[in-house]
Chains A and B, each alone.
Chain A
Amino acid sequence: MTYKLLGKNFTPPDIEGKVTGDARYAEDFKKEGMVFARLLTSPLPAGRIVSIDYSEALAMEGVVGILTTEDLPQPAAPANPSFASDEITFLGQPILAVAAVTEQIAENALEKIRIEFERRPFVVDPLDTLVEGGPNPYLKGNTLVRTGGAAAAGTTQSGTDVAEIKWSRDAINAFRAGRDPGPNVPWGNEWVFGELDAEFAQCTSIVEEPFVTIGQSHHALESRTGMAYWENGRCFFYGSLQSHTIAIPALAGMLGIDPANLVFINENTGGGFGGKIFPYPVMAVTGHLARKINRPVQLRITREEEFYIGHARAGMQGWMKLGLKADGKVGAIDMIVIGDAGSGGGASGPGAANFVSLMLQPNAMRFRGVSLYTNTTPRAAQRGPGENEMATALSPILDKAIRQAGLDPVQVRIQNAPDSSGTIGPQRGELTGSWFPQAIAQGAEMFNWEERKQLSGRRNGTKVTGVGVGMGYHSAGASGFDGLLRIGTDGKVYLHTGVGNLGTYSYAAVVRAAAEALKVDWENCEIVRGDSSLHLPWSTFQAGSNTMFTEVRTNNAAAQDAIRKLKQIAATDFGGDLAEYDIDGQRVFKISDPAQGLTYAAAAQRAIELGGEYSGQTYPEDLNAITSRSVQGLAGTGLIGVAKDARHTGTVPSMTVGFMQIELDTMTGKYDIVDYACVADCGTVIHPLGFSQSMHGGSVWGVGLAGYERLVYDTQNGLPANVGLYQAKIPTYLDVPKNTQHGATNIPDPQSPVGSRGVGEPSQGCACAALASAISDAMGGHHFSRAPITADMIVNHVAQLDHFNTGNLKTNTF
């Protein structure tokens, strides 16, 4: 299909502010009388507060208030409280906040606070709490259970509790040695489909491998700073979230107010990557403190604090048995994931297992998993949670089986990749559509795989060439949100979106679907966003690669509603039926006599005169309350297009494949990524430069996951060793591919009105998998069993010191 706007590049309205410095982030907003808050945080990974004396701090000149646990609702574990008191579960956990007229005074005041702590045993390695007799990270245990209970007032996490799960020492020892722990251990999650034993029996190439993936911090460059003030019972909150309107009910709940009394302003967000999808506990501190002292409060989070409270990817300690049949078909997979959820976060084993089930379409598969807490930084979704770390672990294991079978890695992947009849997970859920085998073939051609694979193992002095291929996936779509637009009497189309501004420009790309449907010039459109007082609709969270699918649906729904109303108005004025009218050139007109018609400006004026649904005096009952309030706010100002999107069916699979060539120096363990090519099966590309940004940015994240980034803790004291960016270490210009090519199948998703899906997350998965595969290839097929694969591990392997690399499935350490 040929589009006027979609599939073409455009200048997003917020980009000029980013290059001039005019773009405002949460910390850039000021308010008369604003004071500054600082956090006092826990120096212990586990313990409790016996007593606090902050009287001296409160009496200091310039100190205007202190917020403690007594001022805040306390959610039950494992929900992370804004402040901890009786149960400290990670180092850096906030305990209280001091507000003062300067940050310096607030910081000085913190030093006047006397706290008596009581230590508790802590754990940084999940297997150390899983073993019988091992310490528990929480008073009640070490694992998540779902109860269906309600959240405490003023808190958001509901239906969860902490329980205890333990394995025998023999089982732990077997697992640490890279074996199945045996039949007599409890699991938190377990599923199977197909005839596992029978399928394995038909496999001719079977590999069994352990694997470890260590979590890493999100490290968004903009820390989660916030500013809040109150006026007449309303809270005005300037925050840093990936999402916008979907965050309002949760944030209002944290502040104990009706969502109608919360104005949330978030024009730009300096990175989120999954760590800022929904309101986080420290936001409650800013809001409650502002209310308590009745002054605007800015709580700036430092880089070090961002490490503690800014979340991280979950880790995995796992085991996989994978069987290939002689023809290359994946017969059976048996996998275990012990997930590291940190303190109060979520582990990613089930997502990892779903990923494997989709990518390889095995005839039979079993997954067993346990989600465990540790006294490490809280975990949250991070760019392809579960899928991308599993992609990194899976690729070299699959390659090992392929190598053993004497087959071609690309052909085996094409053979097993899902097409539109593919399924995912234990329920064998259907897909909206998949052309992934074509994507792999397209990538292989782009990379020139047949020639490049001949370079595998080529030596040049101390350097050796490795080539690898990897696959990425994320479920990239939801539905059921609201779309909202207004045609003004100036003839402009005002496209309202509450989707948030993560930085991918997808907020702008998706509203162009409405402009396309309305056949309006882009110059006559204006995007309304960033401030909930501007009347924004209920939109999806901007995460999970889902904006491109979910929000083209809502925008199209709003546009179709507006088109219907335009035609109805014209039919009212000029007679006849709706079917006799069409739109173009910002006019609605009679097809048989185009002179009979109205400009959009005139139609908007008529909508105001007619009232009712035309100008938002009435609206559909199925809208979310936030959208309803926004329509009420816009009522009488033009022609309102508003609708709730219908539901789609099936998983929306966004999938990618990446091919990488590296030159690895066996003397130093360092490598240059010479070439990288990636192709996505992510539907119709509606914003080519945005697509390019996603694919290239994802590759950088892939290099970080597979090669550099990891949490490191001192196991004696529980102290983190890499709270900064340098130690973390996120990739720089010098660590990433020198040459990157990207492409797309560009085949439309059948359930997106313009065919689009997002790709932000799988773009990382294919890159980290390709790098892990290429490193393994350069090392003659050696399986490192863990990610990231760092230079020291490579050097150790070259020196035949692998016991330093893989022993005991250790994690959260070097």
Chain B
Amino acid sequence: MTPRLTRRRFIKSVIFSGAALSSGAGFYLASAQSRAAGGVERLVSLNINGRTRRVDVMPQETLAHTLRYKLGLTGTKIGCNRGECGSCTVTINDVTHYSCSTLTHSVKGKEVMTIEGLRGADGTLHAVQQAFIAELSPQCGFCTPGQIMATVALLKTNPRPTRDEARQALSGNLCRCGAYDHYLNGVMRASGQLS
């Protein structure tokens, strides 16, 4: 982080960079105000859920805001907007990231996967999604997309985790409802260890 982009300034700017999807005029108005002299390219191509998406991105914009407010992918939730809760978890090149704390410009050329990208082409739910339904894993559901993305990433590297390994892997995802046991049951079922 450069001296000009202090943590405080970064947090403040990312919190309020949620330009309106439905209010295009307002968005460009804000963008013009935020343009940095000699700043980065604004119109970028992103690989989101296997598709190339062209999107106008402000220099300080977070991936969570791009996903939700530019691309309409509202399955990614913003619970804290400061890297504490994990509700905004997505995978970037199969590794989990808090999208609220990831600058969109940093994911150019990388594969971003959100909860909306897990279904098969025929609409079939991902094995993790099916397992989480079977185990009634979500309660209020607000943290669920993040829990699922964290599980998907875990099973990519560790297809048959122990319950304790799963606890560790998901420990960056808070659930205020306290559905941890049911999420872990979902992980065990998705990995074929619970029938």
Contact = CB atoms under 8 A, between A and B. Distances in A.
Interface of A: 9, 11-12, 14-25, 27-28, 30-36, 38, 61-62, 100-108, 219-222, 268-273, 300, 302-303, 502-505, 689-690, 692-693, 696-701, 724-726, 730-734, 736, 738, 740
B177 A33 contact: no
Nearest to B141: A18
A331 to B, nearest CB: 37
Given A18-B144, A273-B176, A697-B179, A104 B139 contact: no
A102 B82 contact: no
Interface string B1-35: 00000000000110111111111011101100110
A271 B144 CA distance: 12
Contacts of A61: 29
Given A62-B26, A220-B176, A19 B129 contact: yes
Contacts of A738: 164
Nearest to A17: B141
Nearest to A501: B140
B16 A20 contact: no
17 contacts: A11-B133, A15-B136, A18-B138, A35-B20, A36-B18, A62-B30, A101-B25, A102-B23, A221-B79, A302-B81, A689-B136, A692-B136, A696-B179, A699-B178, A724-B84, A733-B167, A740-B181
B8 to A, nearest CB: 13
A107 B16 contact: yes
A225 to B, nearest CB: 10
Contacts of A732: 171, 174
Q: Which 8 A-B pairs have the closest CB atoms?
A: A21-B75, A101-B26, A700-B178, A503-B140, A270-B142, A18-B141, A697-B178, A21-B115
Interface in B153-178: 164, 167-168, 170-171, 173-178
Contact of B29 (A34, A62, A219): A62
Contact of B176 (A15, A221, A300): A221
B114 interface: yes
A100 B13 CA distance: 16
Given A303-B79, A696-B180, A103 B115 contact: no
A221 B171 contact: no
B30 A102 contact: yes
Q: Which label, helix, strand, loop or mixed, suits the secondary structure of the B interface?
A: loop
Contacts of B16: 38, 102-104, 106-107
B125 interface: yes
B120 to A, nearest CB: 12
Contacts of B167: 733-734
A28 B74 CA distance: 6
A442 B141 CA distance: 32
A698 B181 CA distance: 11
A19, A33, A303 pick with most chain B CB within 10 angstroms = A19
Given A20-B75, A725-B174, A101 B141 contact: no
A222 B140 contact: yes
B80 A34 contact: no
A62 B25 CA distance: 9
B81 A734 contact: no
Nearest to B27: A102
A724 B80 contact: yes
A699 B133 CA distance: 22
A101 B20 contact: yes
Contacts of B21: 30
B85 interface: yes
B87 to A, nearest CB: 6
Contact of A101 (B23, B81, B129): B23
B105 interface: no
Given A219-B176, A696-B181, A725-B80, A102 B19 contact: yes
